């Protein structure tokens, strides 16, 4: 089978790219031929297909006002992307298209390529965020509140609530994009939508996509699970000082400030050896540092700001942690940080929002708390810290079992091939 994978970034930028490259690895391992369509960027991995990639688009970087206007003109519809996609299709002749993140840099204009209609090529789309439902991607409004308003497909809510970066202008552009895609029937050209969590599937169904959605939890590749096995520490109680771990972007929607406040409030009730390790960088780093500094010497000693880490260095941090914490304050879908933690047999303390509760089986693979609730999180930190060695070992075994039953790449990829085959047969029967 010839499969064309589409994603706007062709380097490992975030969770969507982790999925994108992992899926390519899995498909090739099963003997399928894979091609790529993406955007040019200095960080891109090498690819034969890069000659078809669209020119780099930057809507937020340090560029001139004139350049911003010029770039914004292609935010909704890119004739360059449509033209180059058509050329790639003529060259590769795919059996199926699998899109991931495409909005703004690539745009849905690629689905207007004549080759798709002429050859009845089916399209699958994995929803890594809520852009099909929400112009701001996150289902969080301009006041920082979780929001369902745009499920009625009247996207002007985003302008009224200034949902995009607190800017009326940016919210207006996002509104125009959403309205154009609605009236252009762009999403009608997608045959199957993959939702990485049952929660996301329920929202997509409520937003008008029922009948085309399927829930398929994100997966780990063989190389990722091999790395996890390498860093598993089944004897943490005797070999490493206990710590809670946050790893990810230090941003408000990730709940990092709530976690720091909860840990600071809980410090007097934790034994002196417990610490909080924070791995990552982002816009809230300075605020976190100020919170720690104002809290005194003990806080500075027991909250470790470790900066950005990757690869085996990061995975060893995960494997040695007593618990990792997913404290998101937006409806995070199916975070890879949670999967990586469970694969390393590190239980997860997770907010009960979005797809996170599907990872955190209460008392087995971790503990749940109310999103944004620092007092409730503090209570869970104390409860987790009191877990004894025997109970913790049972939790580690539950984490390993969860991954082996639900998150192995070979099973995911084979199921995806079944989906490709189904949409191909359905489309050909309609010719």
- Tens-place pLDDT, residues 369-418: 999 999 999 999 999 999 999 999 999 999 999 999 999 988 999 999 99
24 and 119 belong to one structural domain: yes
Half-sphere exposure of 380 (CA within 13 A, CB side): 27
162 and 135 belong to one structural domain: yes
Number of helical H runs and strand E runs in the chain: 17, 12
Q: What's residue 224's pLDDT?
A: 86
Q: What's residue 73's pLDDT?
A: 63
209 and 255 belong to one structural domain: no
348 and 418 belong to one structural domain: no
229 and 214 belong to one structural domain: no
270 and 342 belong to one structural domain: yes
- Number of separate domains in the chain: 2
Q: What's residue 17's pLDDT?
A: 94
pLDDT band (50, 70, 90) for residue 128: very high
255 and 396 belong to one structural domain: yes
366 and 414 belong to one structural domain: no
pTM: 0.90
63, pLDDT greater than 50: no
181 and 324 belong to one structural domain: no
**C-alpha to C-alpha distance for 161 and 192, rounded to whole angstroms:** 31
214 and 248 belong to one structural domain: no
- Tens-place pLDDT, residues 231-289: 999 999 999 999 999 999 999 999 999 999 999 999 999 999 999 999 999 999 999 99
As to burial, measured by CB atoms within 10 angstroms (0-12 exposed, 13-18 middle, 19+ buried), residue 94 is buried
64, pLDDT greater than 50: no
pLDDT band (50, 70, 90) for residue 102: very high
429, pLDDT greater than 60: no
Half-sphere exposure of 239 (CA within 13 A, CB side): 9
348 and 299 belong to one structural domain: yes
Q: What's residue 310's pLDDT?
A: 87
How much of the chain exceeds pLDDT 70, in percent? 95
The helix/strand/coil state of 260 is: helix
Long-range contacts of 221-225 (CB under 8 A, 24+ apart): 221/22, 221/25, 221/26, 221/409, 222/29, 222/409, 222/410, 223/25, 224/22, 224/340, 224/343, 224/409, 225/343, 225/403, 225/408, 225/409
Chain Cα centroid distance, residue 31: 27
pLDDT band (50, 70, 90) for residue 57: confident
Q: Which domain holds residue 130?
A: 2-219+409-429
Element (DSSP H or E) covering residue 246: strand 243-247
226 and 215 belong to one structural domain: no
Residue 174 · residue 181 · CB < 8 Å: no
Residue 227: CATH number of its domain: 3.40.50.2000
């Amino acid at each position: 089978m010839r499969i064309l994978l589409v994603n706007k970034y062709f380097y490992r930028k975030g969770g969507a790219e982790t999925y994108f490259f992992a899926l390519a690895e899995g498909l090739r391992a099963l003997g399928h031929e894979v091609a790529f369509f993406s955007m040019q960027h200095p960080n891109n991995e090498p690819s034969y297909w890069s000659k078809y990639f669209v020119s780099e688009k930057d809507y937020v970087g340090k560029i001139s006002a004139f350049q911003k206007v010029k770039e914004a003109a292609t935010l909704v519809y890119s004739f360059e992307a449509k033209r180059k996609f058509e050329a790639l299709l003529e060259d590769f002749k795919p059996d199926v298209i699998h899109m991931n993140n495409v909005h703004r840099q690539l745009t849905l204009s690629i689905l207007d390529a004549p080759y798709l209609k002429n050859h009845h090529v089916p399209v699958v789309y994995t929803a890594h965020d809520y852009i099909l439902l929400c112009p701001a991607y996150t289902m969080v409004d301009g006041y920082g509140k979780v929001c369902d308003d745009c499920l009625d497909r009247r996207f002007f809510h985003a302008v009224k609530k200034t949902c995009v970066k607190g800017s009326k202008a940016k919210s207006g552009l996002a509104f125009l994009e959403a309205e154009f895609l609605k009236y252009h029937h762009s999403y009608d050209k997608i045959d199957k939508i993959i939702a990485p969590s049952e929660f996301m599937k329920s929202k997509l169904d409520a937003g008008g996509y029922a009948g085309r959605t399927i829930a398929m939890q994100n997966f780990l590749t063989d190389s990722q699970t091999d790395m996890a096995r390498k860093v598993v520490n089944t004897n943490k109680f005797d070999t490493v000082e206990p710590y809670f771990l946050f790893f990810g972007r230090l941003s408000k929607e990730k709940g990092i400030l709530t976690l720091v406040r909860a840990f600071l409030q809980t410090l007097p009730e934790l034994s002196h050896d417990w610490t909080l390790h924070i791995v990552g960088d982002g816009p809230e780093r300075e605020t976190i540092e100020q919170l720690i500094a104002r809290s005194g010497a003990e806080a500075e000693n027991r909250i470790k700001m470790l900066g950005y880490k990757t690869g085996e260095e990061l995975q060893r941090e995960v494997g040695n942690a007593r618990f990792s914490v997913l404290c998101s304050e937006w409806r995070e879908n199916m975070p890879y940080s949670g999967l990586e933690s469970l694969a390393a047999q590190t239980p997860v303390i997770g907010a009960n929002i979005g797809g996170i509760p599907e990872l955190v089986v209460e008392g087995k693979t971790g503990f749940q708390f109310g999103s944004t609730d620092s007092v409730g999180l503090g209570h869970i930190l104390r409860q987790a810290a009191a877990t004894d060695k025997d109970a913790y070992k049972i939790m580690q075994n539950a984490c390993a079992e969860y991954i082996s039953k639900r998150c192995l790449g070979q099973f995911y990829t084979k199921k995806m091939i079944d989906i490709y085959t189904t949409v191909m047969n359905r489309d050909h029967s309609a010719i």
